[in-house]
Structure 1
Amino acid sequence: MKTIVLMGIKHCGKSTQGKIISQKLNLPFYDTDDVIAEMTGKTPREIYTEKGQEGFMEAEKNACEFVKKETALKNINAVIATGGGICGNTQAVEILKSFGTLVFLEVEEKIATARVLREIKVEPDGTLSNMPAYIAKKNPRTVQDAGMIFHDFFSERVKVYKELVDLTINVSGSSKSENADKIIEAVNS
């Protein structure tokens, strides 16, 4: 078995599944967003805001290199949860492919939409905040606008992920533990 790399749209359950799988297999768990924060002292959103997409992608690539070196030094496999946009970071994906099995956690669009939209805040002046950058940059006026932006984004992103990964596992409609078992079984087949 190789390292299990969980990929997918924001809020599809990568971190949750990663922690469950790592416990079931007694493997270390890494979340690339947490590794970025540990390495830089800043959240991924702060890096993206301060240094733009290029700066963030560099930090993400460095986090993937760190995990690869860490697991190689210890001669172990691991479970890795990636950020939702890693599919756009070719260098980071290539690093992960070099030592892991890439697994796309496919979730129904309505579930992903509800999870993303519930985090959006409507400020007293009517403006929206706390949105993913890919939604914010399109300046939605309402939560409904943000949902329409997410729809287009979701459709495009699913296609990209399916082309990149080794396995696709649908995680809609099953319990967290059942999904973890499905992922483990698929990776070991």
Structure 2
Amino acid sequence: MPVVVLIGPPGSGKSTTGEFLAERLGVGFRDTDADVEQVAGKPIGDIFVEDGEEAFRALEAAAVAKALAEHEGVLALGGGSILDAATRELLAGHTVVYLKVGLDQAVKRVGLASARPLLVLNPRSQLRKLMEERRPLYEGLAVLTVATDDLEADVVADQIKAELQPEAE
């Protein structure tokens, strides 16, 4: 069972923060997006284009279930993984941290010309829509919410560690 599961929209800093947090907690880091790419043998963008979003979501749900069952460190989930009802059920009882980010910061971090398949047409508008649709799910799953705007990932990791291990301070 992971010690911490990080959720949030694209650009919230799940991967970067996760690596710092894992280092601070002395555990391993795992990213389900990387797991999906490894299983599929191709980048997520290619999975979307060649196989479709439905195929990607199925791979993602399987990767999340496997990682939740076997990973004991810090786990970062893909931004849309929480759309799957079975995934949300699996997250119950886990220490889920929602990395909250504002639209402007997310846009800067994601980069509008990036290989993010759901942000191809009118990326800023698409990202806003994704963030608004998913926010209630992120908030409902989280035991802790951390605003990441204007913060470096290592500072966010320190905040999470302090919140989750107050007795260690």
Shorter-normalised TM range: 0.7 to 0.9
1:65 and 1:163 map into 2 onto residues whose CA distance is: 19
Q: 1:133 to 1:176 in 2, by over 3 A?
A: closer
Equivalent position amino acid for 1:150 in 2: L
Contact residue 61 and residue 87 of structure 2 kept, 8 A: yes
Contact residue 3 and residue 99 of structure 1 kept, 8 A: no
Which residue in 1 is equivalent to 2:89?
A: 94
Equivalences, count: 166
1:159 and 1:98 map into 2 onto residues whose CA distance is: 15
Offset at residue 46 of structure 1 (A): 2.0
Offset at residue 49 of structure 1 (A): 2.2
Q: Does 1:132 align with 2:132?
A: no
Q: 1:150 to 1:103 in 2, by over 3 A?
A: same
Q: Does 1:164 align with 2:141?
A: yes
* Per-residue CA distance 1:107-126 (angstroms, 9 max, x = gap): 1221112233x341xxxxxx
Contact residue 2 and residue 99 of structure 1 kept, 8 A: no
Offset at residue 99 of structure 1 (A): 5.9
TM-score normalised according to structure 2 size: 0.84
Percent sequence identity is 28
Give me the CA root mean square deviation: 2.3
Which residue in 2 is equivalent to 1:126?
A: none
Which residue in 2 is equivalent to 1:127?
A: none
Q: 1:39 to 1:170 in 2, by over 3 A?
A: same
Q: Which fold has the larger relative contact order, with Cα–Cα distance below 8 Å and residues 6 or more apart in sequence?
A: 2
Superposition pairs for residues 112-151 of structure 1, below 5 Å?
112-116=106-110, 118-120=111-113, 130=114, 132-136=116-120, 139-140=121-122, 146-151=123-128
Contact residue 113 and residue 151 of structure 1 kept, 8 A: no
Contact residue 68 and residue 99 of structure 1 kept, 8 A: no
* Per-residue CA distance 1:92-112 (angstroms, 9 max, x = gap): 3333x1563111101122111
Q: 1:152 to 1:63 in 2, by over 3 A?
A: closer
Instruction: Structure 2: give runs of 5+ residues left out of the alignment.
Output: none
Secondary structure of 1:24's aligned partner: helix
TM-score normalised according to structure 1 size: 0.76
Offset at residue 89 of structure 1 (A): 1.9
Which residue in 1 is equivalent to 2:104?
A: 110
Which residue in 1 is equivalent to 2:75?
A: 80
Contact residue 11 and residue 101 of structure 2 kept, 8 A: no
Q: 1:65 to 1:171 in 2, by over 3 A?
A: same
* Per-residue CA distance 1:21-62 (angstroms, 9 max, x = gap): 111111111000111122221222222222222211111111
Instruction: Structure 1: give runs of 5+ residues left out of the alignment.
Output: 72-76, 121-129, 141-145
Q: Does 1:185 align with 2:162?
A: yes
1:70 and 1:2 map into 2 onto residues whose CA distance is: 8
